[in-house]
Amino acid sequence: MLDNRSYYDEFSSWYEKERHEGYHALIDDLETELVLPLCRDRDVLEIGCGTGLILRRVAPVARFAAGLDISEGMLEVAAGRGLVTVQGSATDLPFADGSFDALYSFKVLAHVQDIRKALREFVRVTRPGATLALEFYNRQSLRYLVKRATSPGAISARTDESAVYTRWDTLGELRAMLPPELSVERVAGVRVVTPAAAVHRIPGLRRIFGAAEVFARDSRRLGRFGGFLVLILKRA
């Protein structure tokens, strides 16, 4: 198993290979639409910004926006987009207390082993009243079942997804691990009904599943079964 920095440095050259259309573009759209209203005219931090695909859409509406990532390879691409980026770890943020009034993270926290320490850091660097949107991998989801039944996806010519630590949580487990300063305002689910990314390569199915994913994300009942579970939190 690789450490997170080595894994994502290796992934960085392949990361955007299929991210600009189909399934991956839809997931980015669903996530971006969730956070844009939370970031407008605020000082914003993205944890695990990768190559900046979401941060580049958030930065124009924010008062100030910065992205943090552990991978130098990922950050080289993000910096090339003119984004403000910092290399660092989610469990040891290089920012002063109370620096931000919005914070979000996608596809990252499932790979952080000391998640409780990371959550305490998020509280430390945010201001009272801040809004946080944190995404986790959901064990009670179709995506989890599919992942269990299929081989890990490749991230390079020599490495696949099994090379990095990955945790799958339930909503109840996530609620239990939150620091007392954070309360859940709502829960949204991303990738609720998609059985496999390949369905989004077929024009007719792409439209059907795309519309279904938008509906399911915003449904109180269906959203809880998202493969990516997003907690919208308020900091006391």
Taking the C-alpha atoms of residue 98 and residue 130, their distance in angstroms, rounded to an integer, is 9
Please give the model's pTM, rounded to 2 decimal places: 0.96
Compute the radius of gyration of the chain from its Cα atoms: 17
Taking the C-alpha atoms of residue 45 and residue 67, their distance in angstroms, rounded to an integer, is 6
Give whole-number Cα distances, 99 to 60, 91, 118, in Å. Answer: 19, 16, 16
Residue 148 located in a structural domain:
no
Q: What is the pLDDT along the chain (236 residues), one digit of tens a residue?
A: 778 988 888 888 889 888 899 999 999 999 999 999 999 999 999 999 999 999 999 999 999 999 999 999 999 999 999 999 999 999 999 999 999 999 999 999 999 999 999 999 999 999 999 999 999 999 999 999 999 999 898 888 788 899 899 999 999 999 999 999 999 999 999 999 999 999 999 999 999 999 999 999 999 999 999 999 999 999 99
Residue 125 located in a structural domain:
yes
Contact assessment for residue 205 and residue 215, using Cβ atoms and an 8 Å cutoff: no
Residue 124 located in a structural domain:
yes
Residue 176 located in a structural domain:
yes
Residue 232 located in a structural domain:
no
Tokens 């269990």: give the residue: 148
User: What is the model's pLDDT at position 157?
Assistant: 79
Nearest in space to 148 (alpha carbons), one of 165, 164, 168? 168
The continuous run of DSSP H or E covering 120 comes out as helix 115-125
User: What is the model's pLDDT at position 196?
Assistant: 93
User: What is the model's pLDDT at position 98?
Assistant: 98
User: What is the model's pLDDT at position 163?
Assistant: 85
Write the CATH number for 107: 3.40.50.150
Residue 223 located in a structural domain:
no
Residue 219 located in a structural domain:
no
Residue 146 located in a structural domain:
no
Please state the domain count of the chain: 1
Residues spanned by the domain of 128: 4-134+153-185
